[in-house]
Structure 1
């Protein structure tokens, strides 16, 4: 499991939006953690009636979707991840959570074994030095 790293709640500010914006602007942090080269990162892209947190491209031009959840992983977000992957004909799905449940870690492992897509589960944490704002670290599993 790779770690984006303290509790997700330390990163919240305006929570989900702030983190998503931060990640869009600092995609190299995720690239380094996962060994990817994501580019052309767009926020809140439509997938039918739904909105994807981030959509990027890998170095080969394949679509990558990123779903952020700054809380314990849940079935709702796992369903979103699969729905967005399908709707965007993406090749890679990245799910960022503050607390991955064992059942969801197992589900991501099964999806990687059973499909042609690449799924990543990233645990986000934050580190704070003194009174500075919290900064994310990361842990990932695939």
Structure 2
């Protein structure tokens, strides 16, 4: 049996336009992973409106209401970034779209959480996919689209929860909290929910502003520090204070943390497993996350309380 190998996306599709054209001709690769029914005859490429130009615009039918609407598809052959996120939001408004599909070669946590937040807090149906190209032996490269984030609820017009998926998330959290709570009592006050991330405030944290957290989406999971709600200048202050302690925290933690987000400092599970994966994979992911959280608690429980509280 041949070994699966990853290919350079740019060797398969030199330009994002090349991938957009491929997707337009193979829309079933996406249709199977979204909750709408995509009309394959409606696909428009490089649609312009004023100075705006969206990669793909498609008509979809909501299977619950049988209503039709437009959806934006934004493609990129690199990592998620502010420019593409801003583009997606602009296209939503300009084209009066009911949702979007954002496809990128690498999905970082802050953008996964932003898309999840849009699903949780708005009427938008928002999807985020990771794109890879793989081959077996000498075979031709084949695309692999993995859904990282998708809507938990149905859109407006009688928006109702997806009980099966919500229960999967609650089951995930119940297992996570049971395992972490055995060694870290702070987690025992939390209850399973359908939110993508959760965690307790670090005891004696300045202004109760910094918390530990575990995060999960369909096929992604991570642990980290979360700077809770506050004005931008307060969030920036606490992030800079944590960054000042970066070497000490990472030395005790035993691995590099990611500091690119304004509100989160985190470590992502390299297996990229979430609550939509098989039960055995979920158990494996939870074991990895709990072990990583043990190390993060050790690295931060004494040092975070030494931070001087933000002066408003």
TM-score after normalising by structure 1? 0.89
What is aligned with 1:86?
93
Paired residue for 2:109, among 102, 106, 112? 102
**Distance of aligned partners of 1:131 and 1:92 in 2 relative to their CA distance in 1, 3 Å threshold:** same
**Distance of aligned partners of 1:7 and 1:82 in 2 relative to their CA distance in 1, 3 Å threshold:** farther
Q: Which runs of 5+ in 2 are unaligned?
A: 1-5, 62-66, 151-312
- Contact 2:7–2:141, Cα closer than 8 Å, also in 1: no
Q: Which runs of 5+ in 1 are unaligned?
A: 1-5
- Contact 1:8–1:124, Cα closer than 8 Å, also in 2: no
Question: Do structure 1's residue 114 and structure 2's residue 114 form an aligned pair?
Answer: no
> 2:11 and 2:69 mapped to 1: Cα distance?
29
Count of aligned pairs between the two proteins: 137
What is aligned with 2:203?
none
What is aligned with 2:239?
none
Which string of whole-angstrom CA distances, capped at 9 and with x for unpartnered residues, describes residues 93-139 of structure 1? 11000101100001001111121111100111112133333211111
Q: CA deviation at 1:7?
A: 5.6
- Contact 1:10–1:134, Cα closer than 8 Å, also in 2: no
What is aligned with 2:300?
none
Q: CA deviation at 1:12?
A: 4.1
SS in 2 for 1:71: coil
- Contact 1:11–1:134, Cα closer than 8 Å, also in 2: no
> 2:105 and 2:138 mapped to 1: Cα distance?
22
Residue pairs, 1:1-142, within 5 angstroms = 6=6, 9=9, 12-39=12-39, 40-59=42-61, 60-140=67-147, 141-142=149-150
Q: CA deviation at 1:15?
A: 2.3
- Contact 2:7–2:135, Cα closer than 8 Å, also in 1: no
**Distance of aligned partners of 1:92 and 1:8 in 2 relative to their CA distance in 1, 3 Å threshold:** farther
Please give the root-mean-square deviation of Cα atoms over the aligned residues, in Å: 1.6
- Contact 1:92–1:117, Cα closer than 8 Å, also in 2: yes
Higher relative CO (CA 8 A, sep ≥ 6), structure 1 or 2? 1
More displaced 10-residue stretch of structure 1: 33-42 or 91-100: 33-42
> Which of the pair has more CA radius of gyration?
2
SS in 2 for 1:18: helix
**Distance of aligned partners of 1:19 and 1:51 in 2 relative to their CA distance in 1, 3 Å threshold:** same
- Greater strand fraction, Structure 1 or Structure 2: 1
